[in-house]
Amino acid sequence: MTASKDSPDARTARFRRLASVPLDTIGSRSRPLAGAWTSIREIGDQKEMLGLLVRRDLKARYKDSALGFLWSLIRPITQLIIYYVVVGKFLGAARGIPDFAIYIFTGLTAYTLFSEIVASSTASIIGNAGLIKKIYLPREIFPLASVGSASFNFLIQLAILVVAAVVVGSQPLSLDLLYFFPSVMVLLVYATALGLLMSALNVYLRDVQYLIEVALMVLMWASPIVYTWSMVRDILGNGILLNIYTSNPITLSVLGFQQAFWTAGEGTPFPDNLLLRLAVTLVVGVVLLFVSQRVFSRLQGNFAQEL
């Protein structure tokens, strides 16, 4: 054996190196702030892993299909066509809303990002049971990988949206485009917070998964995606109820998206101070994300045995 010649050296070198690193206690619980920081660092150390998991999610999804990746294009395009033809033309909703197909697709693009993150994160821990039971990894990376793959699909859909907007003739290049950034941040932060929390709860209570399905359906209709904000205002009036409706982070983001991409709706009424509201919502969202991560890290200790 060739290795045996230099092995006493290898052995000594290994012992020296090991002796020089401190013994660390695994799974020790620490104070919340320091704990959050440690978690972030741990996740940071696993960037490459995160990338691989995202790729795995995307690859595995269309693995055995002939068209493969094309399906991530076909789905949203079909959706766009259906909404344009059926809802817009047949049902006549288009009469009230200019460029209805773009309008609806804008809202859907925003909402799909949110719902896909939440739904796939919720299932992510259970879906990766095989890995979690075998290997220690910061478990946050599984919901985060769902965020990653949902974001990838979102980018595709966004590209279609921009192309469609240009084709239809509205010029998307304006300062309003800046609304996109806070809106997408709000969506990401809230979806991640909710997804983290639900993925952990789902391990202990499988009903969470179904509950989330229902909640996502309700949330979709609670935001101005297929109808406009002004329709809601006409019914609720300008009081507290409208304020509550508008404060829904998803509603705010959807409105932000529409500001950015639905240029045909220039004159339609939008809530005041949309940017400010988005900013406040974002700050609240970051706090929620922190809380949710803390809860997650509390619950994750027992994942391997509960799965």
Partner 1 sequence: MNSPLLETSSDAPTPAPVVISAKDVSKRFVVRKDNALKERLVTMGKLGRQHRQEFWALRDIDITIEAGTTVGLIGHNGSGKSTLLKVIGGIIQPTTGTVSRRGRMAALLELGAGFHPDLTGRENVFLNASILGLTRKETEDRFDDILSFSGIGDFIDTQVKFYSSGMYVRLAFSVAVHTEPDVLLVDEVLAVGDEAFQRKCLDKIRSFQEEGRTIILVSHSLGQVTELCDRAILLNRGEIEFDGNAHQAVTAFRNILEERRVEEAAAASPDVVVHEGHVLGATVHAVGKAIGDPVLPGDDLRIVMTFDHDDKLNDWIGALQIDNASGQVVYGTKNSLMDVRLPPLSGPVSLEYIIHNVTFGSGKYFVNASLLDSALRHVHDMPQACTFNVPFYPLATGTVHAEPTLRVLDAAAHQASAV
Residues binding partner 1 (CB under 8 A): 1, 3-4, 7-8, 10-12, 14-16, 18-19, 21-28, 48-49, 52-53, 56, 59-60, 63-64, 130-137, 205-207, 301-302, 304-305
Task: Kindly tell me the burial class for residue 64, based on how many C-beta atoms sit within 10 Å of its own C-beta (0-12, 13-18, 19 or more).
Answer: exposed
- Supply the minimum distance, in Å, between the C-beta of residue 47 and partner 1: 10
Whole-angstrom distance, CA of residue 193 vs CA of residue 141: 13
Q: Which residue, 238 or 305, is less far from partner 1 as judged by CB?
A: 305
Rounded to whole angstroms, what are the CA distances from 122 to 32, 196, 202? 23, 7, 7
Q: Which residue, 291 or 304, is less far from partner 1 as judged by CB?
A: 304
Q: Which residue, 3 or 240, is less far from partner 1 as judged by CB?
A: 3
CB burial readout 214-238, b (16+ within 10 A) else e? ebbeebbeebbbbbbbbebbeeeee
- Supply the minimum distance, in Å, between the C-beta of residue 305 and partner 1: 5
- Supply the minimum distance, in Å, between the C-beta of residue 175 and partner 1: 41
- Supply the minimum distance, in Å, between the C-beta of residue 3 and partner 1: 5
Q: Which residue, 109 or 153, is less far from partner 1 as judged by CB?
A: 153
Q: Which residue, 165 or 201, is less far from partner 1 as judged by CB?
A: 201
Whole-angstrom distance, CA of residue 144 vs CA of residue 40: 12
Q: Which residue, 148 or 285, is less far from partner 1 as judged by CB?
A: 148
Cα-to-chain-centroid distance, residue 109:
12
- Supply the minimum distance, in Å, between the C-beta of residue 130 and partner 1: 6
**Token pair listed for 141:** 């990376």
Smallest CA-to-CA distance from 98 within 267, 270, 264 is with: 264
- Supply the minimum distance, in Å, between the C-beta of residue 127 and partner 1: 10
CB 287 within 8 A of CB 249: no
Q: Which residue, 142 or 190, is less far from partner 1 as judged by CB?
A: 142
CB 53 within 8 A of CB 132: no
On the CB side of 277, how many CA atoms lie within 13 Å of its CA? Answer: 20
Task: Kindly tell me the burial class for residue 76, based on how many C-beta atoms sit within 10 Å of its own C-beta (0-12, 13-18, 19 or more).
Answer: buried
Give the orientation angle of helix 207-221 with respect to helix 100-127, to 10 degrees. Answer: 170
Q: Which residue, 1 or 218, is less far from partner 1 as judged by CB?
A: 1
User: Angle 64-49-127 (CA atoms, 0-180°, nearest 5)?
Assistant: 50
